[in-house]
């Protein structure tokens, strides 16, 4: 479901400009997501805040930092107020978790069925996450499973979130 007025527990999807955005877009393309305009995901928290994964680690910051940016806010259709609260509570446990560009490579390795020992454990690890993994993990911790297609935990990109919720 799409919104224009974000609520706690919603997922924000947006673009990243410059070389970083192009690198993420390339990583999403390698992972079968195609080229599109969503290279970043974040989680809306109460009180006008958000949680996002960044190269310096996951952090909480003001939602107003995205004022004027093109952001698509999405969430599952039947998300209850209690689930929204649990998702936001889970989010606070991940502040400071390092970002890992290597997760894009690990996700691509899985997509190409390359036999790498420990790959599933690496992709599912919550000790390092890209933005979309962080959002998905907060939902999982709250008992809301966004993907019911049998994918590995952590096997999610911003475009996978868009493909699931943005149409």
Return mean pLDDT, the chain.
85
Q: pTM of the full predicted structure?
A: 0.85
Report the SS3 class of residue 59.
Answer: strand
Which tens digits make up the pLDDT trace of 20-54? 556 655 655 555 555 567 788 999 999 999 999 98
pLDDT single digits (tens) 97-132: 998 777 767 777 777 778 888 888 887 777 889 899
Is 39 in contact with 7 (CB distance < 8 Å)? no
CB neighbour list of residue 63: distance below 8 Å, 6 or more residues apart? 6, 44, 45, 48, 49, 50
Q: HEC states along 13-58?
A: EECCCHHHHHHHHHHHHHCCCCCCCCCEEEEEECCCEEEECCCCCC
- Give the integer Cα–Cα distance in Å for 151 and 74: 20
Q: Domains plus CATH for the chain?
A: 2-165 (3.90.1720.10)
Q: Which residue in the block uniquely carries the two structure tokens 């509570």?
A: 89
């Amino acid at each position: 479901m799409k919104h224009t007025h974000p609520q706690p527990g919603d997922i924000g999807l947006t673009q990243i400009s410059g070389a970083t955005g192009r690198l993420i877009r390339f990583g999403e393309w390698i992972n079968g997501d195609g080229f599109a305009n969503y290279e970043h995901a974040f989680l809306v928290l109460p009180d006008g805040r958000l949680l996002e994964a960044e190269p310096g680690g996951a952090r909480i910051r003001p939602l107003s930092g995205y004022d004027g940016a093109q952001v698509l806010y999405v969430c599952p259709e039947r998300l209850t107020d209690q689930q929204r609260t649990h998702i936001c509570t889970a989010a606070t446990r991940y502040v400071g978790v390092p970002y890992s560009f290597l997760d894009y490579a690990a996700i691509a390795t899985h997509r190409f069925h390359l036999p790498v020992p420990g790959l599933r454990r690496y992709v599912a690890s919550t000790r390092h996450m890209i933005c979309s993994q962080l959002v998905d993990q907060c939902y999982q911790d709250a008992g809301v499973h966004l993907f019911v297609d049998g994918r590995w935990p952590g096997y999610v990109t911003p475009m996978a979130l868009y493909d699931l919720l943005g149409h």
